[in-house]
């Protein structure tokens, strides 16, 4: 990393080290996020394959998809309470440090060859990821002199590149070891990756802004006592309930999966309804929230399809794809490296393309970009119908079919996801400015929980009819937003 450090000629001391012209703390956070994403995406690439493998947990594909979907939805659902802990209890820096320890312990639990510790490990990784997700981004922002610092956007771009570097390398390393050598050794490698990230974070904290140590809105003594008491009561109720189900012999995995998926659908509705019904919001803010609900529902449909790239498509690849290139067979988990490498290749192209159109006054509106992303992700599942129909009577679909699907989904992501993040911040009521990013993550939760419920209900997500239905739903959703773009634009007010 030393080779990428330069001297900041603008610093008053003339000797302050920077990271590509940015504050030195960005290197610390970049590497922390890279290693955390390495551990997260490496484990995630193995998860559905381990769940269905004869030498793994040997579950049916529907159960594996449900578990995968619930796990991913939990990561995003817990981002809101994770941000709350950073704001009210520990401060961002301590929260990220604790999160790293929890994630590492979770991966170590996954590395133990027992089913009980495996599910405990999944829970710990989800909790740790939720704690880390919001707070590390907060610390990136704290490195700069407010939102008007000209380096801020570039800093976040470099930071997000760390995400994709980790996501790209993880399946190639962890996936290969897990599939070809030993599943649990692969999970142990994920723990080692998080350990490396945690060590360099602790060593590099001196480069972070001192504000990262501050708890912005600390709980009062009364609030702390009340929160602790309520938390203990709910934990006790849950413990008693599940002890009863085990003792009476009625417990199955669905006693865990169903409540989480239902909560993942109800919580976003409750949160949006609470904000929408807040009488303190101005008429303009109320109107923007009404407009935002269109984007939220569309995003939930988008993520429902997009996140099946790690479950439905991976399970199909494992059983029905010819996973070879020029006669050389590669691990199924390697498909999960396609998206991040395409993101790194195409993101600068998209940024330049939008800028060029903007200069000519022809850049599509937020609504058009959003509807296009939804139509494209639907098109990716229409494309999925081809390999599904090829893979019959013992035939195998070519690997390039799956690569093509991931390519279309990546283009869809680059069209919709950055716009979604931007419109979330722009349309957020002032009162809920710091919470709205968590609301955006709830769209991911809702989408994945829908997939989870379908799987729990026994729906074969690799069936042509359900794939076609989801594709049609996404295309119809995108078309509806486009058709009603005038109404949505009016609700958005001064947001363009």
Q: Indicate the range of 128-132, 143-147, 377-381, 383-387 predicted with least confidence.
A: 143-147
Please check the confidence at residue 273 and state whether its pLDDT lies above 60: yes
Higher pLDDT residue, 5 or 430?
430
pLDDT band with cut points at 50, 70 and 90 for residue 202: very high
User: What mean pLDDT comes out for the span 241-252?
Assistant: 92
Q: Note the pLDDT of residue 306.
A: 97
- 10 pLDDT more than 60: no
What's the chain look like in SS3? CHHHEEECCCCCCCCCEEECCEECHHHHHHHHHHHHHHHHHHHHHHHHHHHHCCCCCCCCHHHHHHHHHHHHHHHHHCHHHHHHHHHHCCCHHHHHHHHHHHHHHHHHHHCCCCHHHHHHHHHHHHHHHHHHHHHHHHHHHHCCCCCCCCCHHHHHHHHHHHHHHHHHHHHHHHHHHHHHCCHHHHHHHHHHHHHHHHHHHHHHHHHCCHHHHCCCCCCCHHHHHHHHHHHHHHHHHHHHHHHHHHHCCCCCCHHHHHHHHHHHHHHHHHHHHHHHCCCCCCHHHHHHHHHHHHHHHHHHHHHHHHHHHHCHHHHHHHHHEECEECCEECCHHHHHHHHHHHHHHHHHHHHHHHHHHHHCCCCCCHHHHHHHHHHHHHHHHHHHHHHHHHCCCCCCEEHHHHHHHHHHHHHHHHHHHHHHHHHHHHHCCHHHCCCHHHHHHHHHHHHHHHHHHHHHCCCCCCCHHHHHHHHHHHHHHHHHHHHCHHHHHHHHCCCC
* pLDDT (mean) for 456-474: 95
Is a pLDDT exceeding 90 seen at residue 495? no
pLDDT at 15: 41
**Banded pLDDT at 9 (limits 50, 70, 90):** very low
Q: Across residues 452-473, what is the average pLDDT?
A: 95
pTM: 0.91
pLDDT in tens, 68-125: 999 999 999 999 899 889 888 999 999 999 999 999 999 999 999 999 899 999 999 9
At residue 6, does pLDDT exceed 70?
A: no
- What are the pLDDT digits (tens) for 344-353? 999 889 888 9
């Amino acid at each position: 990393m030393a080779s990428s450090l330069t001297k900041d000629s603008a610093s008053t001391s003339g000797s302050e080290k920077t990271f590509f012209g940015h504050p030195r703390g960005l290197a610390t956070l970049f590497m922390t996020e890279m290693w955390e994403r390495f551990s997260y995406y490496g484990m995630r690439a193995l998860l559905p394959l381990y769940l269905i493998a004869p030498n793994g947990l040997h579950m049916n594909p529907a159960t594996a998809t449900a578990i995968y979907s619930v796990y991913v939805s939990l990561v995003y659902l817990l981002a809101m309470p994770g941000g709350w802990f950073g704001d009210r209890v520990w401060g961002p820096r301590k929260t990220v440090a604790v999160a790293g320890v929890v994630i590492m312990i979770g991966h170590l639990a996954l590395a133990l060859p027992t089913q009980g510790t495996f599910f405990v490990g999944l829970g710990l990784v989800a909790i740790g990821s939720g704690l880390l997700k919001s707070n590390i981004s907060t610390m990136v922002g704290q490195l700069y002199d407010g939102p008007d610092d000209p380096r801020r956007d570039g800093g976040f771009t470099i930071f997000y590149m760390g995400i994709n570097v980790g996501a790209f390398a993880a399946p190639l390393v962890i996936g290969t070891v897990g599939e070809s050598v030993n599943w649990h050794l692969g999970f142990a490698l994920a723990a080692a990756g998080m350990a490396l990230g945690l060590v360099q974070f602790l060593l590099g904290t001196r480069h972070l802004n001192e504000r990262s140590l501050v708890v912005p809105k600390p709980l009062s003594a009364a609030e702390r006592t009340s929160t602790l008491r309520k938390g203990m009561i709910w934990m006790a109720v849950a413990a008693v309930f599940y002890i009863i189900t085990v003792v009476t012999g009625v417990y199955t995995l669905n006693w865990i999966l169903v409540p989480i998926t239902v909560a993942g659908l109800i919580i976003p509705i409750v949160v949006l309804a609470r904000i929408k019904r807040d009488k303190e919001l101005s008429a303009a803010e109320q109107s923007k929230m009404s407009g935002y609900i269109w984007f939220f529902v569309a995003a939930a449909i988008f993520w429902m399809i997009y996140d099946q790239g790690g479950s439905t498509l991976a399970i199909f690849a494992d059983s029905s794809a010819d996973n070879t290139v020029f006669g050389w067979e590669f691990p199924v988990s390697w498909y999960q490296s396609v998206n991040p490498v395409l993101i790194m290749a195409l993101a600068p192209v998209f940024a330049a393309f939008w800028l060029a159109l903007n200069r000519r006054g022809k850049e599509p509106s937020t609504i058009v970009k959003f509807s296009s992303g939804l139509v494209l992700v639907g098109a990716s599942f229409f494309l999925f119908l081809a390999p599904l129909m090829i893979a019959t009577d013992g035939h195998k679909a070519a690997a390039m079919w799956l690569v093509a699907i991931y390519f279309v989904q990546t283009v869809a992501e680059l069209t919709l996801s950055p716009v979604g993040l931007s419109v979330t911040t722009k349309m957020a009521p002032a009162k809920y400015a710091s919470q709205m990013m968590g609301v955006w993550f709830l769209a991911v939760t809702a989408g994945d929980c829908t997939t989870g419920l379908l799987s729990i209900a026994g729906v074969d997500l690799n069936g042509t009819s359900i794939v076609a239905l989801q594709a049609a739903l996404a295309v119809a959703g995108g078309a509806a937003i486009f058709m009603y773009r005038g109404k949505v634009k009016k609700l958005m007010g001064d947001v363009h």
